A = this chain, B = another copy of it.
Amino acid sequence: MTYCVGLAVDRGLVFMSDTRTNAGVDNISTVGKMKTWEVPGERFLCLLSAGNLATTQATVSLLEERRVAPAERNPAILTMPSMFQTARLVGDTLKEVIAESTPAGPNADGRFTASFILGGQIKGGRPRVFMIYPEGNFIETTPDNPFFQIGEHKYGRPIIVRTYEPGMSLEECAKLLLVSFDSTIRSNLSVGLPIDMQFYETDSLKAGYRRRFDRRDPYYVRISEGWSDSLKKAFDDLPPFTTEG
């Protein structure tokens, strides 16, 4: 499995992804699941992937192939006029890759499936975040539903649902997502450190701050240890239950 989140706030976007891939519990590796592209002043794109690694890698490679001739400088994904068209390109490419690998007919199965979170901004448009399904279609964040998770999303969801506010700074989002990732990592072996994080500031049209948190990262260690204590304190602050109540 995997755990990735793409989250939109008023000031921009924050992306976070783990790096564990596994084929069984005795065959695990570290693979980045976050891919970014930028043309400073024109566009910034961030793609997070979950699912079959052959599928997601092939999709990214196809998105990067130069579109027409070798002389054409831009990868296909940088030629789209809008975030919506970019999401369509990613969805169509994903659907094709899955169709090529999957046996047709009665042997069809879901082994080669994958999904993506795509976020970013193209000049003239606003920042947008999409969740792209293996069928090639996609949905977009809205003020009521301002973040997407892919992979092992359940453990880390309650803290985001309860704490998210659209006015948060990107740094506060980083703290929130680290708590969500830490809760997931403690409960599920298939999600693992290091964690990749990418900021995007609204209308900057270039890559923002990026960081990889490993197991010894001092801030990650403080969050991971501090959250247990803070949570216990929060729990103690709740009114006690009594059987007379």
Contacts and interface: CB of A to CB of B under 8 A. Distances in A.
B158 A186 contact: yes
A215 to B, nearest CB: 16
A230 B238 contact: yes
A138 interface: no
A236 B240 CA distance: 23
Interface in A207-245: 209, 211, 218-219, 222-223, 226-228, 230-235, 237-243, 245
Given A234-B234, A239-B219, A245-B219, A158 B175 contact: no
B239 A176 contact: no
A61 to B, nearest CB: 31
A42 interface: no
Contact of A241 (B157, B175, B186): B175
Contact of A238 (B199, B211, B227, B245): B227
A235 B157 contact: no
Given A175-B240, A209-B243, A240-B171, A163 B223 contact: no
Contacts of A222: 238-239
Interface in A72-114: none
A243 B211 CA distance: 9
A174 to B, nearest CB: 4
Report the copy number of this chain in the oligomer: 2
A211 B241 CA distance: 12
A35 interface: no
Contacts of A174: 241
Interface residues on A, range: 35 or more
Contacts of A228: 162
A244 to B, nearest CB: 10
20 contacts: A154-B187, A155-B157, A158-B187, A159-B235, A161-B187, A162-B232, A171-B241, A171-B242, A172-B241, A175-B238, A175-B240, A175-B241, A178-B241, A218-B245, A222-B238, A223-B239, A226-B238, A227-B234, A227-B238, A233-B234
Interface of A: 154-159, 161-163, 171-172, 174-176, 178-179, 183-184, 186-187, 199, 209, 211, 218-219, 222-223, 226-228, 230-235, 237-243, 245
Given A158-B159, A161-B187, A162-B232, 7 more contacts: A159-B231, A174-B241, A179-B235, A218-B245, A226-B238, A227-B234, A231-B234
